Each structure stands twice: as structure tokens, then as C-alpha cells.
Amino acid sequence: MTMPKQRVGHLRDADVEWYAKPGDTRRKILVYEPEILMMLNAFTEGLAGPLHSHPHVQASYVVSGRFEITIDGTTREMGPGDSFLIQSNLLHAARCLETGEIIEVFTPIREDFVA
């Protein structure tokens, strides 16, 4: 699936397709412009992302499920209603303990997600 080049203004959930790669999360790229991107990530139980960093600031909100979130060497279990912020270039990772979804916001835009 090819991602749209830009998406601003009003957006209905039904108008957004899921993007998936085998062994990865499913994601919906929601609204964005060069300074900010919001997406919905769906995780299946047991899925774990590798420890990584990126130059973007990331704010995340746990919609459902349970997750083990590691940020800069500190690990916490997070559930519905919890949120976390990852500063630019900090090492972080996520492990899904119970199938769920996380809303993620990046600034600036994650061009690798919309290219």
C-alpha cells in the first residue's frame, strides 16, 4: 500500500486503511503535516519492537491492551489511559503483553512512515 503524501483537516476512521508488514504492528497513518504526525498502532500479544532511537519526539497514549515500555533504560508496564513521552534520540522499545492499540504522535513528521 502506498501512503498518501499529505493528510490535513478532517479525517474519518473509515477512510483510512491499515498498513501492515509481516511480524510488525498494523498502523493507520492519521493526520499529518511536516511538523507533526499522528498514527494508530495495533499490536498483537507477544510482539516486541527492538531497542531503537530516532530524532523525533514521540508522545504515545495507550488506548487498549497492556505493554512493557522501556525508555532510556527504565521499563514500566502501561495500560489503557496511560501515556508516555520519548525525547529525541533516547533508546526505547515496546513489548505487547496483551493485544491492544497505541496512538502515537511524532514531531517532526516520520517521513519513513509516509514515504
pLDDT digits (tens, 9 = 90+) for 45-85: 999 989 999 999 999 999 999 999 999 999 999 999 999 99
Give phi and psi for 111, each to the nearest 5.
Answer: -60, -30
Q: What is the mean pLDDT of residues 5-14?
A: 79
Quick check: is 12 in a domain?
no
pTM over the 0.75 mark: yes
Find the CATH number of the domain harbouring 110: 2.60.120.10
Question: How far are the Cα atoms of 11, 48, 81, 98 from residue 52, in angstroms, in the given order?
Answer: 30, 12, 24, 22
pLDDT at 27 over 70: yes
CA distance 115 to 113: 6
Q: Is 89 domain-assigned?
A: yes
Domain that holds residue 54: 24-114
pLDDT reported for residue 1: 41
Is 96 within a domain? yes
- Identify whether 81 is part of a domain: yes
